[in-house]
């Protein structure tokens, strides 16, 4: 039985997915009993030579507010920065994307506290029309970080066409 929340279909996919097709995304779901959890999803898009990163806040029990998601489009330099942190070459990754109508930020950092998850991942967005900031923060385990590293390394290889 699949306990992961149902995710919406995305319009970024370049082809329809059949039952035998492997998913092109990796999502880390972190719902909690207080309803303050979140999800961050990574999806490769070869046609746009990018990885799209979506974040949504929890909106109910195992439900997420995909309508108000935060989205960033990562290129190779963003992927390299994230891989450097996942491989222990630097303590954190901070990405900032500025657009006409909004600013988005992503932060991934290692934590030394043995009582907490070894990593923290945060995405935020501030729309120019509104001064409020939407923010999604989730703890990341070593296992999730290992899978994410493999997924992002594979994305780089596919985007380069090697």
- Residue tagged 């630097």 (tokens): 90
Cβ pair 93, 110 in contact under 8 A: no
Q: Where are the alpha helices (DSSP H) in 69-128?
A: 76-86
For the stretch 45-58, pLDDT in tens is 999 999 999 999 99
Residue 100 is classified by DSSP as S
Domain ranges of the chain: 25-160
Cβ pair 82, 90 in contact under 8 A: no
Is the domain spanning 25-160 CATH 1.10.10.10? The answer is no
Side-chain-facing half-sphere of 161: CA atoms under 13 Å: 4
What was the pLDDT predicted at 15?
Answer: 44
pTM over 0.75: yes
Give the model's confidence band at 130: pLDDT under 50 very low, under 70 low, under 90 confident, else very high. confident
């Amino acid at each position: 039985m699949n306990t992961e929340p149902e995710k919406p279909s995305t319009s970024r996919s370049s082809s329809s997915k059949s039952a035998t097709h492997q998913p092109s995304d990796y999502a880390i779901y972190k719902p909690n009993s207080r309803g303050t959890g979140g999800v961050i999803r990574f999806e490769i898009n070869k046609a746009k030579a990018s990885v799209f990163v979506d974040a949504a806040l929890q909106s109910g029990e195992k439900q997420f507010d995909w309508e108000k998601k935060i989205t960033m489009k990562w290129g190779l330099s963003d992927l390299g920065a994230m891989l450097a942190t996942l491989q222990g070459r630097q303590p954190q990754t901070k990405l900032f994307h500025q657009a006409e109508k909004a600013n988005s930020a992503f932060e991934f950092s290692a934590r030394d506290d043995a009582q907490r998850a070894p990593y923290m991942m945060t995405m935020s967005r501030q729309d120019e029309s509104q001064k409020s900031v939407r923010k999604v923060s989730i703890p990341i385990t070593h296992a999730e970080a290992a899978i994410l590293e493999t997924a992002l390394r594979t994305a780089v290889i596919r985007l380069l066409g090697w």
